[in-house]
Structure 1
Amino acid sequence: MSTTAVPLLQADGLRKTYQSGGGRLVAVDHLSFALHAGGALGIVGESGSGKTTTARMLVGLEQPDEGRILLQGAPLAARTRGRAARLARAKAVQIVFQDPYLSLDARISIGATLAGVLRLHGCTDATVRAERVRELLAQVGLGEREAAALPRHLSGGQRQRAAIARALAVEPAVLVLDEAVSALDVSVQAQVLNLLCDIRRETGIGLVFVSHDLAVVRYVCDEALVMYRGRTVEHRPVADLLADPGHPYTRLLLASVPHPGWDPDAIGRRRRDLAAEPAAR
């Protein structure tokens, strides 16, 4: 993967604050990264690290106070006005959430949901829509039975596959996955991760994988960006970061994974010690 080409997706100095009591809480503090075509970036951190706020800014659900987001070198509008602008933004970057119910209408079958997305984005021919729905379902390992089902009649893994199909329906350049497998059983996680790897290889789509789980990021991603208190503390190839983590927070994340000799009390003490240190390192 070339590092000299214009990045597919670029975040440049993103900063986001929220009102908190009498002051401002800094959720993301001057975050920058570049994702190249066909690449996969893991954004890693625990609750409160700023990773989900970052994901929401990438897809336009939150607006940065400072900084900009570029797609293939062109700035994405911070605010979209009008139907055409909103559809263009949705086509550029799509998101898959932890809970598929956030993107699947409980009252509508999976097939009808996909057809509705295609119709919204200009596919007016019913025959073409039906064929494209079949293609999308096949791409994520679902078939006619799942197409006719309501979301509540599917398993968690099937619902997440349907949510991925919905995101892929508009053929986005970038797919952001916000803890998209964390609620699934381990065996189902592996199936969905394999699916994402296949889709990335077949389509060249860029993936931004937001997770607290370094093992999941290792499976899917080329690079990992570790966030702590809204800031980037490490950004390196995944293999290098896992083999020799340079920041205490990254080492804490790795140590927090249960393993032989694991001592939760010791992990808790290390966490409290790190929290007591100044934010800037």
Structure 2
Amino acid sequence: MTAPLLEAVGLRKAYGANVAVSDLSFTLEAGGALGLVGESGSGKTTTARMLIGLEQPDRGGILVRGKPLAHASRLERAKAVQIVFQDPYLSLDPRLTIRAALDDVLRLHGHPDRPGRIAELLDQVGLGEREAAARPRGLSGGQRQRAAIARALAVEPGVLVLDEAVSALDVSIQAQVLNLLADVRRETGVGIVFVSHDLAVVRYLCDEALVLHRGVVVERGPVEALLQDPRDPYTRLLISSVPHTGWSPEEISKQRRALIRG
């Protein structure tokens, strides 16, 4: 059998007495899209940081195409898994133009045709010559996020991790970036791990989702099934927390207190 594109096996990460992630396992096939859903403190961002090597699990392992990521070199890891953060300033050098930032990545990885690849990337994410010549501060939030996505895609990674990558954007810009990501997934076959607190956004991009609460997976399955028939009280709380007709903040607070006591 062919190994999954990405496999997390029994991941655990603690900071002192606080267990951020406990016994987390999942697989992702090539071209698949998996959502990691939860509020702040659920363990989803810690998981994302372990996937790209910014944090090392205390226990468990991560494999890409059957090979342990822990044994990979820095360049091999970058080729396997890339991340796009909520704030693109975390990945874009404010001193460099977007073109220079892309060229820097491609030069580091020894790409044989850097100008050609840069042109391809800019076209892929919908940026033109003006944006390519600008520094990050000269771009809008949506343009910066497109540039960050281009930078992450530059070395053609197997897995793209998106950590709340659209949550800071206006709704209309969110839709544009989500459409871009859907196109990238379809055209390249990259596997996507989409980290978000918003199941509605996850629904647009992902096939399956894991719902994390206090570092533990409380529910997993196809996104549509989770939205239409949530089984765990925490999943129901996440869905009911989204403002809608008849929405009651007091009722949400009551549910949250009951969940904490439980």
Per the TM superposition, whether the score is higher than 0.5 is yes
2:122 aligned with 1:137? yes
Q: Following the alignment from structure 2 to structure 1, what is the Cα–Cα distance between the partners of residues 244 and 77?
A: 43
Counterpart in 2 of 1:37? Answer: 30
The reply to whether residue 265 of structure 1 matches residue 250 of structure 2 is yes
Q: Equivalent pairs: percent with the same residue?
A: 73
Structure 1 residue 104, shift from structure 2 partner: 0.4
TM-score normalised by the chain length of structure 2: 0.98
| Residue matched to 1:115 | 103
CA contact (8 A) 1:134 1:143 kept: no
What is the aligned length?
262
Structure 1 segment 123-162 matched on structure 2, within 5 A: 123=111, 128-162=113-147
1:1-281 equivalences under 5 Å are: 5-19=2-16, 24-77=17-70, 85-123=73-111, 128-277=113-262
- Alpha-carbon distance in structure 1 between the residues aligned to 2:2 and 2:168: 36
Q: Which runs of 4+ in 1 moved over 3 A?
A: none
Query: Secondary structure at 1:77's aligned position in 2?
Result: helix
**Matches of 1:130 and 1:37, distance apart in 2:** 28
- What is the deviation of 1:5? 4.1
Counterpart-to-counterpart distance in 1, 2:106 and 2:260: 47
TM-superposed CA distance for 1:131, in Å, is 1.5
Query: Which letter maps to 1:10?
Result: E
1:146-185 Cα distance to aligned partner (Å, 9 max, x none):
1100100000000000000000001100000000000000
Question: Which amino acid in the other structure matches residue 229 of structure 1?
Answer: R
Q: Which amino acid aligns with 1:134?
A: A
Once the two structures are TM-superposed, the CA of residue 6 in structure 1 deviates from its matched residue by 2.1
How far the C-alpha of 1:130 sits from its partner, in A, is 1.2
Consecutive unaligned residues of structure 1, counting only runs of 5 or more, are none
SS at 2:74's partner residue? helix
Provide TM-score, normalisation by structure 1. 0.92
Deviations along 1:121-151, one digit per CA (max 9) or x if unpaired, are 012x5xx211111110100000111110010
What residue identity is the alignment partner of 1:89? Answer: R
Unpaired segments ≥5 residues, structure 2: none
Residue type at the aligned position of 1:70: L
Q: Could you tell me how far apart the structure 1 residues matched to 2:83 and 2:261 are? A: 34
- Measured in 2, the distance between the counterparts of 1:258 and 1:107 equals 40
Task: Give distance in 2, aligned partners of 1:112 and 1:53.
Answer: 30
Shift of 1:77: 1.1
Instruction: After TM superposition, give the deviation of residue 73 of structure 1 in Å.
Output: 1.2
